[in-house]
Chain A
Amino acid sequence: MTNRDSTLDWFMLVLRRDLTLSFRRSATYITPLIFFLIVVTFFPLALGPSQSLLSSMAAGIIWISALLSSLLAVEGIFSEDFRDGTLDQYFVSSEPVFVLIFAKVLCHWLVCGAPIILASVLSSVFLYLPSGVLFALIISLLLGTLFMSLLGALGAALSLGRSAILSAIIVLPFSIPTLLMGTAIMSAAINQQDYSGFISIMGAMLAIGIPGLCLLTVEAILLNYE
């Protein structure tokens, strides 16, 4: 890379590298998907197969499962790069590190979030989600899983080399606004009300969260270099 390369080129480089690495190993995108489907299946098993009950709870169930699986998936996002020294290279490069971190998170979201959203369409059939709200489900999950990936990356950075459950305890209380907004979108869509306001709020949270959380994540990773 020459000096004239802009930050965007570096961003794309990190994104491409991570995407290639992820697709070489099927576990990275299959595992969260299977986890999501298993959690969704557990709800009818625990609550009973009553169609009306499941139909009224479908949106909440899908959202909780998506939150948990995208959180668990992001848990190991930095561990390998930290061990083999790739992260060190980010810090010694002259580029702003939080942009490169965002590339990692974005790649992770593309690899894990997208299959989960596809699976949520499948599970909306399993759980008798009322018809006509599929669009709301997809758009709310698109925004929500990205926010979860960002939060999860911060949790992963703070608990680097420690247990996964610690990362979950750190991140889950902070993910409550996302969960509430997402389910608000869903219940507004089911009642055939306008939900664009909630989508705007989620978008605003993302707009603040992308730079803010990436900066905090960089600060948290730096802790491991002392």
Chain B
Amino acid sequence: MLKRLRNCSLYRQLIIPMIGIGLISLLGTVYFSNILKQSVAALDTIYVDGDIRLHNLEQIERRVTAYRALSLRHLTTESFSSMEEINRQLQQTRLEILDALPGARPPPAATEQPVPESDVYTHDLAAALRSYFAETGVAIKLSAEFEKEAAFILLSRVESKYVPRIKEITSQLIRHEFEDIAVSRQILMSVATQNLYITIAIGISGGGLLLLIAFAVIRGVTRRLSRLLIWSQAISEGNYSAPLTRNSSDEVGQLTQAMMEMADSISDAHGKLERAKKNAETIAETLQIYANAFENSGEAILITDRNNHIINVNTAFTRQTGYELADIAGRNPRILSGGNTTIGTYREMWRALESNSFWQGELWDKKKSGELYPKWAAISVIRDPDGEVLFHIASFTDISDRKAAEARIEHLAHYDMLTGLLNRFSLESRMEQAVLAAKRDNQQLAVLFVDLDRFKYINDSMGHQVGDQLLIEVASRLKECLRESDIVARIGGDEFVLVLTGLKDTNRVPTLAGNIIDRISQPYTVNDNVFDSSPSIGISIYPDDGDNIDELLKNSDIAMYHAKDQGRRNFQFFTESLLVASEERLDIEHQLRSALELDQFELYYQAQVHTQGNHIYGMEALIRWNHPVRGFIGPDRFIPIAEEIDVIQQLGAWVIDEACRQLAIWKQTTTNPLQISVNLSAKQLHSDSLIETVREAMERHRIREGELELEITETATMSDPELAVRQLNRLSQLGVSLAIDDFGTGYSSLAYLKKLPINTLKLDRAFVGDIENDRNDAEICMATIALAHNLGLKVVAEGVETTTQRDFLAEHRCDYLQGYLFSKPVPPDAAGALLEARDAPRETETCR
């Protein structure tokens, strides 16, 4: 078989095994790419399934809230027929929730995993929901029997038993869903990668085998050729009787045959040659030395005659340019020219050759392949003793490598490696030019500071590689939005700076910024992940917002932060007031420390009234900073800073003492009981000195039990519940009434509140606002009032501004109200006047 193959032509010896192996490789490749395709399809299914399950979980969360609202509404409904309607909705919502429950999932393809943790959670969720529905059902049944009281107690127990658990499991499930998708994706990725490797391996081994065969065939040919060569050497050495056998009928065999015939003719010619040779030998020896030097020179050398026609080139030249001597002999070297060298350079060159007979410099020439390349040329003119030109000798060095290296260094210094945009350094120099140009031409510049929202989140959650890809894509989108003459730079992380140059006016800047926001906010696809990002843009204008680059950049940065504050995904122009705001904070920090000594704080008082009758029962003390320059500063602006720089303890102690002092003054003139409320910050609650401060203030001003109320936020108690309970108990023992300030932010924590010795809940103003906006939430909140009454707590609603709100709160038995509808916070004198007015109508009742 092998022997028969050897008698085939060389073409066949190569092509037959090649086709065979090629077919096998092709089949392998097709097979494994098919598996790869299946993996990708499986991945797609996982995403779609995951998406559906996530959607269902969100549905469940939403409907559970609706179910809770309905069940609470059932409890507050007094007519049986309305209850039946609500009960029907409850049943429907319950069925919808159970329908949306996730089933056990089929395990992802190509993996052997143990039962996923999330299935356990699914089971738990179903169990928790069923128990919740069953026990809520009991409460609803009680409610339908008009046993509202018992129903409230049962429902509040059921809610605190199941709702946090259901929320917890649902969020666990959502988290697991995300993790599962990630795990499946990784598994499939590794399968896909493995397949890819196998496919590549088949390709490489197929190619290798082909090379091997080609090598074997060529090796056979060359061995025979070298035998032929040895034989032909023998012939050339004059041994015409050297033996030669022909052992195959392929091309080499035919060549052997031909050469044997040729050897005979050569033998004849040899005699004639022998004679000529003797003459030539003497000349050749001399020439050989020069030729060697010429031929073996590392530099490309080209020689032209006096008319500048090429007469010789060396091997190095051929290596460099690709031109053989035969290609260009007799031609003008002009044909080598690449066209990138200026006419001036050529003129200069000829002038130098004329006068000095030597020129060197850089030329851009073209290779035979058409590729342009820079070379260093040294040209000498050889003249005879009369000065007539004999030859031109030119030597060339290819300097493209050096050139490329130089260009790369240049690029690195001026451009951002990742995105290819300008870096900070060159941004500054380009901006400087732009500012100068704008100044000269009396034009404007717009500097846009672009920061990606949520970039850190994307980077952290999806990896740097994805983050980098995102930045590259953002860079290319930014470039698309701008003109060639505008400047785009990345100056760090996810921060980009755009400079719009040569503006006559800035009318079009908002439109452009809007376009950029739209373009950057389009979804991104990186490694099969689709996600959103959006920019926040701050804009400063030359010369309005600064006449140097530092100021322009700083101000656009400030404007960008303002855009972030405004809810991201928008653009903001720099204004002086922004600068003022950022300086203001520093200012406040400095002056806060001395403000107490300088007596710059002042307490204002806001009345709290009985829901029935609107008469005042208490005053909430609210601190204000009477700043000598800035005027009144509200607590929301300086309290967080005071907490940060630890002035809060002194400040808090002052507020408690001052409020008690004011109460003592009012007690002398009013006959009706009055309570004063003071806000405590989280740091104050956790402070060791709090109890002593309160005790001292109460003793000093003879404040009795129940006259001082301290308001704390729910979150303040949450950070260290044990300490909070201890502190609150001690305050309670002092006779201080305690209120939760921001109640309504976490419904399920009512069970937790039971553990605290509090007397009052203050309904957050946001929830009072909801009365006119979101009835569903408002109703949950109002049912909470009913539950709070069950715990024996008072309820105060804050921020009551309209009669609609007042009527709704009165209808739902809220005890006390506070807000602009009754009185805004006023200075002590005005508050005293309110109290006097209060006492008057009360007396009316008694005397009537």
Binding between chains A and B = no
